[in-house]
């Protein structure tokens, strides 16, 4: 085949064509297709089902997530101020988000982040970060609209004419698929948005004696809860609050968790309850799903967590995920967690749950 594949970290089903070099430190996922005349340097990570067309060179510092398409002769820059024979530089990381597409002959400068499902037109210069779902082209790149997951350009109402998906702009100004917010699946549990028929479960769980001292007071009236939920559904439609039922995969209801006060740079998480008797991994995966949703999907960099001071077990739990105390008042402790501080703990807990290899 006249290629030079030195890496041992290449996933099952991946095909690498003629005259391609893959250095020993590179990591390549499953079912990828790397065409002829390509080069993959050591500090490069490819997710699963990535397509790389001919004439693409991937230098140190590039991370490519799942289902990304890179067109022929796309160029990636990893050194902003290059000099010949100047080795050992720390290069900024360039990240290509899930399912984005890079057009032929495009150039991506060092340290740029391209959002998931973004569509980069041919011969485009990427000199700034590109938000999720954005359709961009030109030199430099200019946002010309938004595209659906299926690749169709969205209408002004943010609807897809081909597959009928419905999108909304988050408080951060990034596009979101409403269906992605409706249901979040994990290995052991799933999060789904609450509905009016959940009112009885919510009231009974929030008024459970052991939990009550750690929560704001709740009416025992089902009707009052339903009215609160009707008001909440309006906030959900605006994309500023999301209230989830925690379920097992057999649809057993086990708890609640809420995202609220969504702003441009930070959001709050709370109202977290899990019914007694469930194993610890249920709580761990619930927080993992919460962070996946907010950091990876909504694109936030930090979360504010409000916990009653007496609830020391939850405070310790959040600290194990990387959160640090920001401030306190007479009743509550306020912790901050960020995308950076929770990265290590999140990977550790994913391994503990068997979500990634040990």
pLDDT in tens, 60-103: 999 999 999 999 999 999 988 888 988 878 889 999 999 999 99
Give the pLDDT mean for 301-319.
90
Domains delineated in the chain: 1-165 (2.160.10.10), 180-352 (3.40.630.30)
* Radius of gyration of the chain measured on its C-alpha atoms: 23
Whether the predicted pLDDT of 52 surpasses 90: yes
CA 339 to chain centre: 10
Q: What is the mean pLDDT of the chain?
A: 91
Q: Is the pLDDT of residue 209 over 80?
A: no
Respond yes or no on whether the N-terminal peptide bond of residue 35 is cis (omega within 30° of 0).
no
Q: State mean pLDDT over 191-199.
A: 95
Q: What is the pLDDT of residue 49?
A: 98
Owner of token pair 């210069």: 125
pLDDT of residue 300: 86
Please give the share of the chain, as a percent, with pLDDT higher than 90.
69
State the pLDDT confidence band at 1, using cuts at 50, 70 and 90: low
Q: In this predicted structure, what is the pLDDT of residue 90?
A: 86
What pLDDT, in 10s, does the model give residues 236-273? 988 889 999 999 999 999 999 999 988 888 889 888 88
Model pLDDT for residues 142-169, shown as the tens digit of each residue: 999 999 999 999 999 999 999 999 998 8
What span, in angstroms and rounded, lies between the C-alpha atoms of 24 and 41? 8
Q: Which long-range contacts (CB under 8 A, 24 or more apart) does 26-33 make?
A: 29/66
Can you say whether the dihedral through the CA atoms of 293, 339, 267, 151 is positive or negative?
Answer: negative
* pLDDT range class, residue 217, cuts 50, 70, 90: low
What is the pTM assigned to this prediction?
Answer: 0.79
Percent above pLDDT 70 for the chain: 96
Average pLDDT of the residues in 45-52: 98
Who contacts 224 (Cβ-Cβ below 8 Å, separation ≥6)? none
> Tokens 């927080």 map to which residue?
287
């Amino acid at each position: 085949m006249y290629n030079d594949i030195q890496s041992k970290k290449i996933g099952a089903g991946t095909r690498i064509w003629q005259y391609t070099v893959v250095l020993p430190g590179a990591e390549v996922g499953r079912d990828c297709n790397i065409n002829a005349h390509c080069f993959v340097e050591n500090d490069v990570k490819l997710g699963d089902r990535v397509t790389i067309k001919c004439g693409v060179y991937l230098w140190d510092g590039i991370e490519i997530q799942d289902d990304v398409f890179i067109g022929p002769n796309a160029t990636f820059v990893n050194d902003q101020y290059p000099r010949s024979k100047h080795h050992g530089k720390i290069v900024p990381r360039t990240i290509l988000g899930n399912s984005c597409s890079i057009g032929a002959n495009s150039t991506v400068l060092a340290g740029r982040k391209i959002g998931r499902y973004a569509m980069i037109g041919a011969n485009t210069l990427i000199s700034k970060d590109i938000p999720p779902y954005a359709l961009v082209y030109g030199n430099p790149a200019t946002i010309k609209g938004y595209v659906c997951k299926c690749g169709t350009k969205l209408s002004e109402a943010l609807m897809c004419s081909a597959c009928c998906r419905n999108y909304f702009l988050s408080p951060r100004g990034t596009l979101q698929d409403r269906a992605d917010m409706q249901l979040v699946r994990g290995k052991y549990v799933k999060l789904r948005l609450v509905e009016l028929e959940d009112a009885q479960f919510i009231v009974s769980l929030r008024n459970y004696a052991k939990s009550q001292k750690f929560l704001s007071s709740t009416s025992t009236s089902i009707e009052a809860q339903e009215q609160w939920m009707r008001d909440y559904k309006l906030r959900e439609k605006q994309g500023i609050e999301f209230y989830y039922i925690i379920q097992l995969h057999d649809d057993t209801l086990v708890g609640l968790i809420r995202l609220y006060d969504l702003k441009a740079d930070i959001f709050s998480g709370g109202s977290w309850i899990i019914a007694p008797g469930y194993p610890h991994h249920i709580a761990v995966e619930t927080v993992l799903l919460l962070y996946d949703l907010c950091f990876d999907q909504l694109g936030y960099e930090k979360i504010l967590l409000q916990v009653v001071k007496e609830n020391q077990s939850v405070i310790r739990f959040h600290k194990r995920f990387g959160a640090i105390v920001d401030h306190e008042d007479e009743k509550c402790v306020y912790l901050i967690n960020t995308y950076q501080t929770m990265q290590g703990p999140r990977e550790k807990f994913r391994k503990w749950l068997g979500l990634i290899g040990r």
